Amino acid sequence: MTFLKDFSIIWSLVHTLVLFLLLFESRFPKRKLLRLTASFILPLIALNFVLFLLIGADRYMKLMLITLSLPSFVFFWFLAKYRGGRFVFTFCMVDTLVLELIYITNIIDRYIPGDWFLFLSRLVAYPLIEWLVYARFKTIYRKVQNEVQKGWWIFALTGVLFYIAITLALNFHSGSSAHPEHMSVFLILLVLMPISYLNIFNTLRHQQSAFESKEQENLLKVQVATVQSRIQEYSDSNALFSKERHDFRHKLQTICRLVEMKKYDELLTTVSKYNEMLDETKMKKYCENAVLDAVFSSYLHKAELAGISVTTALYFPDPLPVNEVELATALANAIENAIHAQDSVEEGLRHIEIKSIASPQFMLEVKNTIGAAVKFDADGVPVTEAAGHGFGTRSIVAFCEKYDAFYEFKTQDDQFVLRILF
Residues paired with 382 in a beta bridge: 376
What is the predicted pLDDT for the residue at 353? 92
Answer yes or no: are the C-beta atoms of 357 and 351 closer than 8 Å: no
What pLDDT shows up at residue 8? 80
Alpha carbons 11 and 7: distance in angstroms, whole number = 6
The residue extents of the domains of the chain are: 3-217, 285-422
In contact, 53 and 1? CB cutoff 8 Å: yes
The reply to whether omega before 360 is within 30° of 0 (cis) is: yes
Distances (CA, A) of 163 to 36, 63, 157, 215, 222: 26, 14, 10, 36, 46
Amino acid 338 reads A
Identify which of 402, 342, 327, 338 has the alpha carbon closest to the alpha carbon of residue 366: 338
Q: What pLDDT is stored for residue 333 in this prediction?
A: 86
Predicted pLDDT of residue 174: 46
Query: Which is nearest to 393 in space by CA: 385, 403, 383?
Result: 383
Residue 177: the pLDDT is 45
pLDDT the model gives residue 178: 46
Q: How many CB atoms lie within 10 A of CB 242?
A: 11
Q: Tell me, what's the pLDDT at 351? A: 92
What is the C-alpha separation between 1 and 349, in angstroms, rounded?
Answer: 77
pLDDT in single tens digits along all 422 residues of the chain: 577 777 787 788 888 888 899 888 888 888 888 899 989 988 998 888 888 888 876 677 778 888 888 999 999 999 988 888 889 989 988 988 888 888 888 777 777 777 787 788 888 888 898 898 888 888 888 877 877 777 788 888 888 888 888 777 666 554 444 455 566 767 777 788 888 888 887 777 777 677 666 666 665 565 566 555 555 655 555 555 555 555 555 555 666 666 667 666 666 676 666 566 555 545 567 788 877 887 888 788 888 888 889 888 888 888 888 888 888 888 888 888 899 888 888 888 899 999 998 888 899 999 999 888 888 877 788 877 665 555 678 888 888 888 888 888 888 888 899 999 98
Task: Tell me the residue type at 42.
Answer: L
What is the pTM assigned to this prediction? 0.55
Pairing of strands 406-412, 363-369: unpaired
Instruction: Note the CATH number of domain 285-422.
Output: 3.30.565.10
